[in-house]
Amino acid sequence: MSRIGKLPIPVPGGVQVKIENREVQVDGPKGSLTLALPPLVNLAEEDGTLHVTPVNATRQARAQHGLGRSLIANMIEGVTQGYVKRLEIQGVGYRAQVKDNVLNLSLGFSHPVEFPAPDGIQIEVAENTKITVSGADKQVVGETAAKIRRYYPPEPYKGKGIRYVGEYVRRKEGKAGA
């Protein structure tokens, strides 16, 4: 049995969980999320906790057991607290601003880069170089931050680009002058 999958999932107050036709819907103060349950996993609700059980003892069922439990626990955490990814822009003249839920990036290209925020995602900019991506769905928050970073990943020679806060970029020496 999966060590992660066998742990019960507590349902905090203010969160409603509906289970219908292998579809789980979680409603909370930060929003609503739905998930199609993996096929080899069952879900039961007892006394304010959720229990995930595998259908049989195959290797794939055991793998989906832990996966299903983690996905549901992430949904509950997302609708109660939410998820946040922070990015920072480094480089002279590089900046960002948000207007009408569209992130405008000036990254040294000949044109500004416009990134519309997906549904359920809030993007905020502080000090023109600090970008905060937040939302209830962990996967969408992480993917949105990765897409923003992909416009100009940090380069190893001068360190310019978009990076996660606290990310270490290994620097290279470059050409040695004659």
| 77-127 tens-digit pLDDT | 999 999 999 999 998 999 999 999 999 999 999 999 999 999 999 999 999
In a domain, 153, yes or no: yes
| Same domain flag for 94 and 110 | yes
Question: Is residue 35 within 8 Å of 58, Cβ to Cβ?
Answer: no
Question: What pLDDT does residue 38 have?
Answer: 87
| Same domain flag for 62 and 13 | yes
Of 63, 80, 97, at which residue does a domain stop? 80
Helix (H) or strand (E) holding 148: helix 138-150
Dist. CA 84–CA 153, nearest whole Å: 19
In a domain, 148, yes or no: yes
| Same domain flag for 49 and 116 | no
Of 62, 80, 98, at which residue does a domain stop? 80
The residues that bridge with 33 in the sheet, in sequence order, are 26
Question: What pLDDT does residue 3 have?
Answer: 84
In a domain, 177, yes or no: no
Question: What pLDDT does residue 1 have?
Answer: 65
DSSP 3-state of 102: strand
| Same domain flag for 72 and 23 | yes
| Same domain flag for 53 and 90 | no
| Domain harbouring 30, CATH code | 3.90.930.12
Number of independent structural domains in the chain: 2
φ/ψ of 56, rounded to 5, equals -140, -170
Computed from CA positions of residues 131, 115, 170, 175, in that sequence, does the dihedral angle turn out positive or negative?
Answer: negative
Q: Is the pLDDT of residue 177 over 70?
A: no
Dist. CA 57–CA 165, nearest whole Å: 42
Question: Per-residue pLDDT tens for 43-80?
Answer: 998 888 999 999 998 889 888 999 999 999 999 999 99
| Same domain flag for 123 and 154 | yes
Question: What pLDDT does residue 173 have?
Answer: 87
Of 57, 80, 103, at which residue does a domain stop? 80
Please state the pTM of the whole predicted model: 0.87
Question: What pLDDT does residue 6 have?
Answer: 85
| Same domain flag for 105 and 147 | yes
Question: What pLDDT does residue 5 have?
Answer: 83
Mean pLDDT of 30-54: 91
